[in-house]
Chain A
């Protein structure tokens, strides 16, 4: 099976712009979680989607949003970019959510640089 894929792999944006990142989960996986990874804060949970519904959200401002499509692919959007949004954005998929098979498999990430 193909692993989790993310596009684009690298992005450079300027402050005030917005950005959309995409994540395709492993085939058959229905839950997609997003994380932000920075040297200072480590890996932090952004949100989780299952069956096109956001079921959980971390402590990030409303500028961070996402959605999931009927094929389980997910996108996250960051509006009004700030310098501090520079990070590696990782998505992870899992087979079932809420059950004993929540092992998460990560994509390669999108590295976002905000200038």
Chain B
């Protein structure tokens, strides 16, 4: 089955700096890659996602890049703010594949991001 590795496990930055979190996946059939942010005691919230037909997607200070050949994707946060502090999870799935792919996201282990004022 799919395996997603996420690095680093912890990341500490100063306010205003950029943060980059990287994930690699094992199954070349994966075609959908969401990123979730989970604040302490709260639900995971989707912050951005990318499908395999594009290489990059941006939403204000957040961007995601995908390299299908290398099977890795990254989250980039620019101009970080203290409220960006949270645990970030990457995930992978196979949209439309059916079978053992139905409704299944395979998650990375998470990155604890701390933004210091």
The interface of chain A, by Cβ under 8 A from chain B, is: 4, 31-33, 35, 42-45, 47-50, 55-56, 58, 90, 92, 94, 97-100, 102-109
The interface of chain B, by Cβ under 8 A from chain A, is: 32, 34, 36, 42-46, 49, 51, 89, 91, 93, 95-96, 98-110
| A-B residue pairs in contact (CB < 8 Å), sample of 15 | A32-B103, A42-B108, A43-B89, A43-B91, A48-B104, A49-B103, A90-B43, A99-B95, A100-B51, A100-B95, A102-B103, A105-B46, A106-B43, A106-B45, A108-B43
Could you say which of A45, A50, A90, A94 has the most chain B C-beta atoms within 10 Å of its C-beta? A45
Q: Are B103 and A33 in contact (CB under 8 A)?
A: yes
Contact pick for A45, options B32, B44, B106, B108, CB 8 Å: B106
Q: Are A107 and B95 in contact (CB under 8 A)?
A: no
Nearest B residue to A33 by beta-carbon distance? B103
Could you say which of B43, B45, B99 has the most chain A C-beta atoms within 10 Å of its C-beta? B43
Q: Are A98 and B96 in contact (CB under 8 A)?
A: yes
Nearest A residue to B101 by beta-carbon distance? A56
What residues on A are CB-neighbors of B110 within 8 Å?
42
With A100-B96, A102-B93 as known contacts, state yes or no: A50 contacts B103, CB within 8 Å.
yes
Q: Are A56 and B104 in contact (CB under 8 A)?
A: yes
Q: Are B100 and A56 in contact (CB under 8 A)?
A: yes
How many angstroms from the CA of A5 to the CA of B105 in the assembled complex? 19
Contact pick for B102, options A90, A98, A103, A106, CB 8 Å: A98
